[in-house]
Chains A and B, each alone.
Chain A
Amino acid sequence: MKQSKDPFEAAFEESPPESPVETEAEAEAERQNPRSSSSVVAQPQKVSKNKEKEKEKEKEKEEEEEEEEDNMDVELAKLPSSGDPHKMAKMQAILSQFTEDQMSRYESFRRAGFQKANMKRLLASITGTQKISVPITIVVSGIAKLFVGEVAETARIVMKERKESGPIRPCHLREAYRRLKLEGKVFKRSASRLFR
């Protein structure tokens, strides 16, 4: 796990300590800040490439947990603005070394998202027929997707602790959810506090 952390830590400074596993946290952070302030971008590419190769070998053994690290925005690189050439180049380098399996998982990760219509309907039913603006839908979908990621990653950690393998089972999800609640990531502090 440590080795796989390095290229990203080296290349991208932000790594919020909020995720259960540091590697996942970094991955999420990178996902969020591919273009943001890059104070540590001055890494020579050779160094990162070596680390990427080590990382790749590790990956083949522990694909599930480390998939989340490969969340660089290759698609965003095709967008005109906000492109940090260093990060984009590193991203390309990393992505070019993916196995098919990793690539397909990464693709799923990038493309999966909540349907706007469904989310709108859900939000409207929660708020009670308020009109939901598009930015709110976008924001909530984004938040929800990251939340799914947190739960799924925590569930994988739980499985690793219990030394189980295979698809994620509901018991893992429940344990993961419980842990996230303890960490305070799921605000269960209900609003009813206002009325007490």
Chain B
Amino acid sequence: MSNSSTGTGTSSKQRAASSQPSETSSKRKRGVFQKELQHMMYGFGDDPNPLPESVALMEDIVVEYVTELVHKAQDIGSQRGKLSVEDFLYLIRKDLPKLNRCTELLSMNEELKQARKVFESEEFD
């Protein structure tokens, strides 16, 4: 019980101190993704105004998920010594929606890059 109260105590301090930029500190700024998460949760079926505590909890869940994901990717790609996209794609290989979405995003990114290249080269014509 006391653990949870200290937990909330620290978190509220973090919220207050969130205006300070802290790059690699172990403290996580709260509410980093708050605005986007609100829209996202609405898009996925929540209320137009999700509860702030739900958004905060969702943020925690997502950050934890991403952390796990990155750690696993690091373990896979540790031989290369550097994180690469393939590591992530390998990790989600079993999850078809995510895999397809990622390949789609990556190919869109490539398209945009190509389009930009063409655009820039055309400028000098």
A191→B96 CA distance, assembly (Å) = 22
A145→B106 CA distance, assembly (Å) = 15
A37, chain B: closest CB distance, angstroms = 11
Q: Which of B47, B50, B106 contacts A139 (CB 8 A)?
A: B106
Chain B: interface secondary structure?
helix
Surface stretch bound by B, among A39-47, A53-61, A91-99, A102-110 = A102-110
Can you give 24 A-B contacts (C-beta < 8 A)? A16-B95, A18-B96, A28-B97, A35-B104, A67-B45, A108-B39, A115-B36, A124-B24, A125-B24, A128-B24, A129-B24, A133-B84, A136-B85, A140-B66, A143-B69, A143-B102, A144-B65, A151-B58, A152-B40, A156-B46, A167-B47, A168-B46, A187-B69, A191-B72
B-facing mask of A172-184, CB < 8 A → 1, else 0?
1110010000000
B54 near A113 with CB under 8 A, answer no
Extra contacts besides A79-B111, A142-B105 (19): CB < 8 Å: A14-B100, A18-B96, A18-B97, A25-B97, A32-B98, A105-B45, A111-B43, A112-B40, A126-B70, A133-B85, A136-B88, A138-B105, A167-B51, A168-B41, A168-B46, A168-B54, A170-B57, A174-B57, A190-B71
A113 near B36 with CB under 8 A, answer yes
Q: How many interface contacts (CB-CB < 8 Å) are there between A and B?
A: 204
Q: How many residues of A contact B (CB 8 A)?
A: 78
Q: Given A138-B109, A186-B65, A194 and B75 touching (CB < 8 A)? A: yes
Residues of A within 8 A of B (CB): 14, 16, 18-19, 25, 28-29, 31-33, 35-36, 64-65, 67-68, 79, 81-82, 105-115, 118, 121-130, 132-136, 138-140, 142-149, 151-153, 155-156, 166-170, 172-174, 177, 185-188, 190-191, 194
B82 at the interface (CB under 8 A from A): yes
Q: Given A28-B97, A29-B100, A112-B39, A122 and B32 touching (CB < 8 A)? A: yes
Closest to B39 in A: A112
Chain B residue numbers with a CB within 8 Å of A172 are 54
A-facing mask of B3-23, CB < 8 A → 1, else 0?
000000000000000000001
A122→B33 CA distance, assembly (Å) = 10
A135→B83 CA distance, assembly (Å) = 11
B100 near A33 with CB under 8 A, answer yes
Chain B residue numbers with a CB within 8 Å of A65 are 45
Residues of B within 8 A of A (CB): 23-25, 28, 32-33, 36-37, 39-47, 49-51, 53-54, 57-58, 61-63, 65-72, 74-75, 82-85, 88-89, 91-92, 95-102, 104-109, 111
